[in-house]
Structure 1
Amino acid sequence: MGNKLPPGQFETKKWPVLHQGDVYKFDEEIWNFKLFGAVKEGRSLSFSEVMNLPKTISTIDMHCVTTWSKFGTSFEGIALRELVNLVELDKNVKYVKIYGYYDGDRFGYSANLPLDGLLGDDALFVFRWKDEENDWQDITPKHGYPLRFIPPESFYLWKGSKWASGIEFMKEDDAGFWEELGYSMTANPFKEERYRWD
């Protein structure tokens, strides 16, 4: 689908900053990343353990529900599949909920996603980025430093949790932060799935 503009979107060269709540202040001493839910045994990873995982570089188009799209941004990060490989999933795990900090609560923000759409190179917990106008640089605190999930282009960007703090593995789909407020559970920008009308 590369460089295809979804319906109702406009292209921007900038990376707009949009988020709810306070900007998280990173403290490596207390930061950790949890893998939990429908798994045989949960894991808690330190920042150094996460950053020692294999890295992936991928170019991913971003589509925000507020109608902007940004093409051709390259990210370096840890593919979600690398974290999945650290736990033994229970049978019939089909969904994940990716958590992030929100106003001091490490699990205050969340976004639900189908697991089978997240096992390629375009589902990354990112820490660096570049584009045609910017060389490699760390993502800023406002963009989710130290670790921000960037979903594949087949999802609106609210599915990309900032200040990522963990993954819950689920057998049934369960609404995240914005989904509970009426946004689409599936969030495909090419189908313009912005809101739930149920």
Structure 2
Amino acid sequence: MQSNERREREREMRAAGRLPPGQSLTLKWPVLHVGSVPLFNPRTWDFRVFGLVEEQLRLSWEEFSNLPQSEVCADMHCVERWSRFDNHWGGLLATELMRRVKLRPEAQHVMVHGENNYTANLPISDFLCPTTILALRHDGEPLTAEHGYPLRLVVPSLYAYKSVKWVRAIQLLDRESPGLWEFNGYHIYGDPFKEQRSSS
């Protein structure tokens, strides 16, 4: 896309209310993560839901990948000021996952656990948005390892540091608790349309 076309596309997206302030359109998909890309072994990989649930859930790779699949089209906004539009995600909706557990009444927040000790927090209301998805695929292809294969949480309503790569567990909490980047100065909530980049 030529620079003039790109600027016009940015204007269109901003006029449509889809480009947050301070963001620029990208056609690429930049790679950002903490630590090295982990190796995936389907025989030992597992996924857990724990914390404030009546009974903890543990799924093997085979069990997880056989759960009902859905598709979501959503934009992605990075705290590093780029936005990528119309991403097509395939995988397990967060709402579908949570049908398999019974929340305790005090469960109000989620801590997402990924490989490399990565964590990110979000309110349970954002986790249960209809567009929040545990993605296995992007634009019709399996996720690449650098973008979170085999499993990435995607939370389109928040900056992408909440969209945890290589996710392994969902923990239900009764209070807000900062994850890795939130603990290190990123905004505790991270709304891109309010430019909630840092806690200061």
TM-score by length of 2: 0.90
* 1:92 CA drift (Å): 2.3
> Does residue 146 of structure 1 match 2:155?
no
Alpha-carbon separation, structure 1, partners of 2:145 and 2:17:
27
TM-superposed CA distance for 1:84, in Å, is 1.3
In the alignment, is the contact (CA less than 8 A) between 1:3 and 1:61 conserved in 2?
no
Shift of 1:52: 1.4
TM-score normalised to structure 1 length:
0.90
CA distance in 2, matches of 1:85, 1:188: 26
Where relative contact order (Cα < 8 A, 6+ residues apart) is larger, the structure is 1
Which aligned pairs between 1:56-75 and structure 2 lie closer than 5 A? 56-75=70-89
- Corresponding residue number in structure 1 for 2:108: 94
| Residue ranges of structure 1 left out of the alignment (5+ in a row) | 103-107, 131-135
Deviation at 1:121, TM superposition (A): 3.1
Is residue 151–residue 160 contact of structure 1 (8 Å, CA) maintained in 2? Answer: yes
The residue identity in structure 1 corresponding to 2:147 is: H
Kindly indicate whether the alpha-carbon contact (under 8 Å) linking 2:52 and 2:106 is maintained by their aligned counterparts in 1: no
Q: Distance in 2 between matches of 1:172 and 1:6?
A: 28
Shift of 1:54: 1.1
Q: Percent identity?
A: 40
| Secondary structure, counterpart of 2:64 in structure 1 | helix
The residue that corresponds to 1:8 in the other structure is 22
Q: Which residue of 2 aligns with 1:193?
A: 196
**Does the Cα contact within 8 Å between 1:79 and 1:120 map onto a contact in 2?**
no
2:125 corresponding residue in structure 1? 116
Partner Cα distance (1:157, 1:117) in 2: 13
**4+ long deviations beyond 6 Å:** none
Cα distance in 2 between the residues matched to 1:44 and 1:4: 37
| Higher fraction of strand | 1
Once residues 132 and 148 of structure 2 are traced to their aligned partners in structure 1, the CA distance between those partners, rounded to angstroms, is: 15
Cα distance, 1:3 vs structure 2: 6.1
Which of residues 3, 8, 23 is equivalent to 2:37?
23
Give the aligned CA root-mean-square deviation in angstroms: 1.3
2-side partners of 1:94 and 1:72: how far apart? 30
Q: Deviations over 1:130-166 (max 9, x none)?
A: 1xxxxx21110000000001112x2000001100100
Tell me the SS of whatever aligns to 1:14: coil
Separation (CA, whole Å) in 1 of partners of 2:74 and 2:17 = 10
Rg larger for: 2
